[in-house]
Amino acid sequence: MLLVEDESEIADFVLLGLREEGYAAEHAADGVAGWARLAAEPWDVVLLDWWLPGLDGLTLLRRFRAANATTPVIFLTARDAVSDRVRGLDAGAQDYLCKPFAFEELMARVRSLTRRLDRPVAALSYGDVTLDYESQRATRAGKRLDLTAKEFALLALFLRHPDAALSRARIYEQVWDEEYDGLSNTLAVHVGELRRKLEAHGPRLLHTVRGVGYALRDRDA
C-alpha cells in the first residue's frame, strides 16, 4: 500500500496504524515523489492526499489513471464539498475520506476495496466459449451448454489455464480434490462428455496431449 501525504503527523499516524494491522505500507511525502513511486511499482491500494506540494493529488490521480486503470485509490482530504468529492471520483478515485477521519473508518474502506480485489473472477472466456460463475452458466457460440457440476469445474479449470497442457493428476486433484491413482477412467469419461458438448457448437477445443493430459486450445498442436 502506498500513502502519498505531506503532513507528517497524519502520515505517521496512518502508517503506524496500517503496519499494526499487518499491511506493508510505504510513504511518499509530496506529489513528485508520489508519482515516482506510483509509476515505478505495482500497488494494491493507494491512499492519496489532495493538497500536496509539487504535484496535487487530483493531477496525480489523473496521470495515474491514464497509465493504470484498476489500482484502487482512496482520496484523503480536508475538502468535503460535494463538487470536490465528485471531481475526485470522476478522476478515478474509488473512495473518498474527509480529514479528520477515524483510523477505523480508513481501515473499513481499505478492507472493502481489498475484498473486492480478492473476489474470484466472475467470468472466464476463451474464443467463443464463456463461463459465468454467478449464474453457473457456460456457453459456446452463444448457445447454452448443459453441463454437470464436474464438467463445469473442469471447463473452469481449462479456461483459467488456456493453451496449457494440464496433467491428468493436476486436473484430478483440482476438480475431484483427490489424489489421482492413474487407473480410474473417471477423468477420461468427464473430459469426453465435456468435449462432446463443446463440439456440438464448434470445432475441437479440448485436445488430448499425449503422455500428459489435456489442453484447451484452438489448434491441435
The dihedral formed by the CA atoms of 11, 17, 21 and 24, expressed in degrees to the nearest 10: 20
Kindly tell me which residue out of 1, 15, 34, 49 binds Ca ion, with binding defined by CB under 5 A: 49
Nearer to Ca ion, 76 or 216 (CB): 76
Q: Which residue is nearest to Ca ion (CB)?
A: 51
Contact window for Ca ion (CB under 5 A) among 47-55, 105-113, 187-195, 209-217: 47-55
* Minimum CB distance to Ca ion, residue 126 (Å): 47
Q: What angle do CA 170, 180, 123 make, to 5 degrees?
A: 35
Nearer to Ca ion, 37 or 161 (CB): 37
* Minimum CB distance to Ca ion, residue 41 (Å): 22
Nearer to Ca ion, 75 or 172 (CB): 75
Q: Could you tell me which residues come within 8 angstroms of residue 26 by beta carbon, excluding any fewer than 6 positions away?
A: 1, 2, 3, 37
**What's the count of helices (H) and strands (E) in the chain, helices before strands?**
8, 12
Nearer to Ca ion, 47 or 159 (CB): 47
Nearer to Ca ion, 25 or 187 (CB): 25
Kindly tell me which residue out of 13, 23, 43, 51 binds Ca ion, with binding defined by CB under 5 A: 51
User: Within its chain, how far is the Cα of 206 from the centroid?
Assistant: 26
Alpha carbons 91 and 59: distance in angstroms, whole number: 9
Which residues from 3-22 bind Ca ion, rule CB under 5 A? 6
Conformation bin of residue 177: beta by default, left when phi > 0, alpha when psi is -120 to 50 = left
Q: Which residues bind Ca ion (CB under 5 A)?
A: 6, 49, 51
